[in-house]
Amino acid sequence: MHRPLRVAIIGAGPAGVYTADSLQKADIDFDVSIDLFDRYPAPFGLIRYGVAPDHPRIKGIITALHRVMDRGDIRFIGNVEYGTDIHLEELRTFYDVVVFATGAIKDARLNIPGVEAENSFGAAEFVSWYDGHPDVDRHWDLSAREIAVIGNGNVALDVARVLAKPASQMLETEIPDNVYAGLKASQATDIHVFGRRGPAQVKFTPLELRELKSAEDVDIILYEDDFEFDEASEKAAAEVNQVRNMVNTLTNWLLEQDDNPEGTGASRRLHLHFLEAPEEILTDQGKVAGLRMQRMELDGTGNVQGTGEMKMYPVQAVYRAIGYFGSAVPDIQFDEDRGTIRNAQGRVLGADGKPVQGLYTSGWIKRGPVGLIGHTKGDALETIGHIIEDAEHLYTAEQPDEQAILDLLDQRGVEYSDWNGWQELDNYEMSLGELETQSGPVERERVKVVDRDEQIRISRAKARQAAHS
């Protein structure tokens, strides 16, 4: 074809950016023109709105994503909601290929009694709150003194660490003012993190575990009865470096605790429990009043089975951190059990189970919410491999001109943002950090703007000036 292959990618998180980047870098004999859409005015998805702000590695990831987008060969179109502002058939008029990289942002379900009680929270909701998500209420109830976090993955440790850390230690991050005020007023004294399997089966990584120790004025408490290892656990600790590091770290902490059983007298305590599975969230007048857990035991294979022994923990809030779950995408076949788009290695499947020409998917909405950034890159490569393989049959767009989609959005009054607009917002947030650094007690790289209308106002300021000049 004499024109570039027009590609729309829905979702500007890591999966979307890596898919776009991989396609632009691919060794192919045709040109591509890529538009990267997002429902928010700012790019980067879960990296901006789904990772704890005190993670040092965030800066590196965002820097890498920013570098990709800053090249200028991928066009960012933000504040555009697929299924509302633009629909599938319209996209197929303007693009030869549509890739869905919408991620997974909902909490996986925990099917136990009491889960709907007041102060029973999904961890994803809390993460969105402390990350300044524009669609989340600014207030969060942090009146509970004793808190349970259910889960043994990285998100569970993020939630526990943010709940345990002094607000002053979080102030040096990019958290918005309302989050700092909420954390500062928190009444929490004891945070209990529960995992249903043993120390050798935890899902968090060594980095997340070590970061727990960075919290000031917090004692980490472990329980000797939880340190149970079966044959499979011992084998994993002997053969897998990460498991060995985790087990050694936790065991060393337990030994240190034995040497100082009274702790440091910190104002907050972070309890790590293993081999405990949730049975029921207890309530009083509709509010969380406790958590009933069943003791588990290892079965020799690294899996667990119930013992029938129950224990009740008096907590006033429960955070469910058992994983993310994808959301259905309009006009696309969806697997309700897995929370993914129905697909075959990235090719979207229709109701008849066959690939739909021109439709693809990448990232968590393709394979489920598992794996780290490295998995996302490999996943993107698989998807673009199929796009390249199918390329000669994909030139179907009736209006492939790059301006056509922008004209439609303008006609509909959609206040979309672009990469220049994001840079304006990015610079503005960093300028807020500079102002706070000059007048406050700690250095702040940025202060995140929360309000969506304010984000749009800042990111579209120059576009409005140009339109009126």
Within this chain, do residues 332 and 317 fall inside the same structural domain, yes or no? Answer: no
**Structural contact between residues 237 and 202, judged by C-beta atoms closer than 8 angstroms:** no
446 domain residue, yes or no: no
The mean pLDDT value for 241-257 works out to 92
For residue 462, pLDDT beyond 60? yes
Within this chain, do residues 141 and 210 fall inside the same structural domain, yes or no? Answer: yes
Within this chain, do residues 81 and 167 fall inside the same structural domain, yes or no? Answer: no
Within this chain, do residues 171 and 313 fall inside the same structural domain, yes or no? Answer: yes
Rg of the Cα atoms in the chain:
24
449 domain residue, yes or no: no
Instruction: Identify the domain boundary among 324, 343, 358.
Output: 324
pTM of the model: 0.92
**Could you tell me the two tokens for 442?**
């700690």
Within this chain, do residues 367 and 353 fall inside the same structural domain, yes or no? Answer: yes
Within this chain, do residues 125 and 82 fall inside the same structural domain, yes or no? Answer: no
CA distance 46 to 14: 8
| pLDDT given at position 436 | 87
CA distance 458 to 447: 14
**Could you tell me the two tokens for 171?**
């102030």
Return the number of other C-beta atoms located less than 10 Å from residue 87's C-beta.
13
58 domain residue, yes or no: yes
Q: Where does the pLDDT of residue 1 fall: very low under 50, low under 70, confident under 90, or very high at 90 and above?
A: low
Within this chain, do residues 351 and 293 fall inside the same structural domain, yes or no? Answer: no
453 domain residue, yes or no: no
What's 80's domain CATH number? 3.40.50.720
What SS3 class is residue 424? helix
Is residue 151 left, alpha or beta, with left meaning phi > 0 and alpha meaning psi from -120 to 50?
left
**Could you tell me the two tokens for 46?**
């879960």
Strand boundaries in 286-342, DSSP class E: 287-298, 304-313, 317-320, 324-325, 334-335, 340-341
264 domain residue, yes or no: yes
Within this chain, do residues 314 and 399 fall inside the same structural domain, yes or no? Answer: no
177 domain residue, yes or no: yes
Total domains in the chain come to 2
| pLDDT given at position 133 | 95
Within this chain, do residues 233 and 300 fall inside the same structural domain, yes or no? Answer: yes
Within this chain, do residues 299 and 155 fall inside the same structural domain, yes or no? Answer: yes
Within this chain, do residues 173 and 280 fall inside the same structural domain, yes or no? Answer: yes
Instruction: Identify the domain boundary among 324, 353, 372.
Output: 324
428 domain residue, yes or no: no
| pLDDT given at position 193 | 97
| pLDDT given at position 350 | 97
What's 168's domain CATH number? 3.50.50.60
| pLDDT given at position 438 | 85
| pLDDT given at position 207 | 81
The whole domain housing 149 covers 107-324
The mean pLDDT value for 369-384 works out to 82
Per-residue pLDDT of 278-304, as tens digits, reads 999 999 999 999 999 999 999 999 899
Instruction: Identify the domain boundary among 301, 324, 347.
Output: 324
Residues in Cβ contact with 124 at an 8 Å cutoff, skipping those fewer than 6 apart:
50, 105, 106, 107, 155, 324
The mean pLDDT value for 345-361 works out to 97
Query: Which of the residue ranges 167-176, 261-270, 438-447 has the most confident prediction, judged by mean pLDDT?
Result: 167-176
Strand boundaries in 190-267, DSSP class E: 190-194, 218-221
The mean pLDDT value for 243-259 works out to 91
Within this chain, do residues 283 and 303 fall inside the same structural domain, yes or no? Answer: yes
What SS3 class is residue 349? strand
